[in-house]
Amino acid sequence: MKAAGKKEERRATRRAFLDANAALREGKKGLRKVTSAATMHRINDTLRSALSWGIKREQAFARNWAQLVELPAATRPKPLVWTPERIEHWKRTGEKPGPVMVWTPELTGQFLDFVTDDWLYELWHTFIFLGPRRGEMAALPWTEVSTDALWMRISQQIVEVAYKLYGEAPKADSVRTLSLSLESGDNLVTVRAKQDRKREEWGDTYVETGRVWTHENGEELHPDWISRRFARLVELSGLPPVRLHDLRHLAATLSLLAGQDIKVVQEKLGHSSRQITSDTYTSVLPEMMRAEAESVMAVVPRDVPFEIRTPLVIPESAWQGDIAVFFAHGARQSGDTWAVGAQIQPDSGLLGMITLTGRGQDDAANAAVKWIRDHCTATDWELVRVENFNDRYPEEQRSDFSLTRFTVARSESPGVNGWALPTGLPPTPSRTARRASGGRPKAA
């Protein structure tokens, strides 16, 4: 425990701390911890399995009594994100909004910056971005890591029973090979170099375990010690509290925020089904909710009046076959006046421009959608996809900028006269004719 002041003051503070601990232990005598419903279910599952084994193998029991036990329903706690409002409440009252909490990307970056100089910085980085279990990291040997090919294989774990360590193979679904980013690969190279330096410093007293993550003297890490060390670092950082196991939620959520498929996240976490991953380890970040809301808004076109300053012209170089992708970048000029320009890339020339009077970036995006939709109708193109990227701007810039991406397709199939049709067959209707008759044209 750290305390400010002179030696006598620190000693008095330490004594008060020890006295409080002693009083707490005395007050807890005769009391027992309340067993949660989830723990009851795990205990009963273990008993049911043991009794089933005894009936099948030893015929020691006539009936599996654990199957008759009725337990209260165990509800899985829903992960919550540390939003500014929840952080303010926690600072004011000291109360966590829920048992399972997840940092935002900004808070995650602050924690990594804080622990940069910690001996186990690379371990915390791995927990955050790969989402392994603590027992898997405690058991990871160097033989299961490649810093050249950038992979690590999870094939063993360490479990703790009454603080004693036991090695065992994980469940079949948990045996997996994880791909590493360049940064994660560099981190492992750094870990090996740090261990080599400590091996020289400690000399013959250095403990050779072959583990990737160890204490400075080479001794293996205890899974429970890893959790306590992480909790202490979070406390010292001043960030809102999360548990070490909550980093699995964070790793899954960051992967989904980056656009990864739920199947990829399932493989990374080592789950038997994507349903487990979806139900257990994914929480919704505000960024994901905002992106979803913006995407939904972009689907419904709104009639926002605008004036075409420069007609839209998409050069042939912008087409990849029959598909073209470009952006409509809106910027507030003054007051409620906006200018929206179409560009292939942010630094490329304008393909066309409109101006409008709007209340904000939503009006600018809606005007861009109407502009491109009208142009596609006039040129017999098809507007394949509209993506609203307004959430990419920092919060303080969103009132002045707008960004929308469009994917359009064109059809250059030969006309009716260009087809050599067998005698007696009716001619194929043109694309425009199919639209007029209510038919659904095929996408190019």
Query: Over 80: is that where the pLDDT of 167 sits?
Result: no
Lowest model confidence (mean pLDDT) among 11-20, 99-108, 136-145, 391-400: 391-400
| H/E segment holding residue 202 | helix 182-202
Average pLDDT, rounded, for the chain = 82
- The reported pLDDT for the residue numbered 218 is 94
CA 220 – CA 348 distance, rounded (Å): 55
Query: Over 50: is that where the pLDDT of 389 sits?
Result: yes
Tell me the CATH architecture of domain 76-284: Orthogonal Bundle (1.10)
- pLDDT band, very low/low/confident/very high, at 428 (cuts 50, 70, 90): very low
Question: Burial level of 105, CB count in 10 A (0-12/13-18/19+)?
Answer: middle
Among the listed residues 192, 170, 181, the one whose alpha carbon sits nearest the alpha carbon of residue 125: 181
Among the listed residues 279, 433, 295, the one whose alpha carbon sits nearest the alpha carbon of residue 369: 295
pLDDT tens digit sequence for 210-221: 999 999 999 999
* Amino acid letter, 239: L
**Token digits of residue 83:** 């939003």
**Token digits of residue 331:** 């910027």
CA 56 – CA 192 distance, rounded (Å): 49
- The reported pLDDT for the residue numbered 290 is 58
Q: What is this structure's pTM? A: 0.60
**Token digits of residue 431:** 């694309």
- Per-residue b/e over 236-253, b at no fewer than 16 CB within 10 Å? eeebbebebebbbbbbbb
Task: Summarize the confidence of residues 125-139 as an average pLDDT.
Answer: 93
CA 249 – CA 78 distance, rounded (Å): 10
Q: In sequence order, what DSSP letters do the residues of 250-278 get, joined into one string?
A: HHHHHHHHTT--HHHHHHHHT-S-HHHHH
CA 264 – CA 45 distance, rounded (Å): 30
Between residues 125 and 276, which one has the greater pLDDT? 125
**Token digits of residue 411:** 């059809």
The residues facing 330 across adjacent strands are 340, 402
Contacts of 3 (CB under 8 A, 6+ apart): 9, 10, 13, 14
Report whether 233 contacts 114 (CB < 8 A).
yes
Query: Over 70: is that where the pLDDT of 203 sits?
Result: yes
The residues facing 159 across adjacent strands are 166
The residues facing 382 across adjacent strands are 409
Most confident of 227-236, 268-277, 339-348, 358-367: 227-236
Q: How far apart are the first and last CA of the chain?
A: 68
- The reported pLDDT for the residue numbered 256 is 77
- Per-residue b/e over 344-371, b at no fewer than 16 CB within 10 Å? beeeeeebbbbbbebebbbbbbbbbbbb
Report whether 153 contacts 144 (CB < 8 A).
yes
- Per-residue b/e over 154-174, b at no fewer than 16 CB within 10 Å? bbbbbeeeeeebeeeebeeeb
- The reported pLDDT for the residue numbered 7 is 76
pLDDT tens digit sequence for 311-337: 999 988 889 888 999 999 999 988 889
pLDDT tens digit sequence for 51-93: 998 888 877 778 888 999 999 888 777 788 899 999 999 999 9
Query: Over 80: is that where the pLDDT of 435 sits?
Result: no
Contacts of 28 (CB under 8 A, 6+ apart): none
Number of residues in the chain: 444
CA 293 – CA 330 distance, rounded (Å): 19
**HEC sequence for 79-126:** CEECCHHHHHHHHHHCCCCCCCEECCHHHHHHHHHHCCCCCCHHHHHH
Lowest model confidence (mean pLDDT) among 135-139, 237-241, 256-260, 436-440: 436-440
In terms of DSSP bridges, do strands 352-357 and 337-343 run parallel, antiparallel, or are they unpaired?
antiparallel
User: Where, residue-wise, is CATH 1.10.443.10 in the chain?
Assistant: 76-284
Contacts of 292 (CB under 8 A, 6+ apart): none
Report whether 329 contacts 406 (CB < 8 A).
no
Query: Over 60: is that where the pLDDT of 3 sits?
Result: no
Among the listed residues 230, 232, 233, 261, the one whose alpha carbon sits nearest the alpha carbon of residue 247: 230
Contacts of 161 (CB under 8 A, 6+ apart): none
Task: Summarize the confidence of residues 245-270 as an average pLDDT.
Answer: 82
Percent of the chain whose predicted confidence (pLDDT) is above 70: 83
- The reported pLDDT for the residue numbered 426 is 40
- The reported pLDDT for the residue numbered 34 is 81
Residue 239's alpha-carbon distances to 98, 102, 231, in angstroms, are 16, 11, 11
Between residues 111 and 286, which one has the greater pLDDT? 111
pLDDT tens digit sequence for 264-310: 778 888 877 777 667 666 556 665 665 555 555 555 555 678 999 99
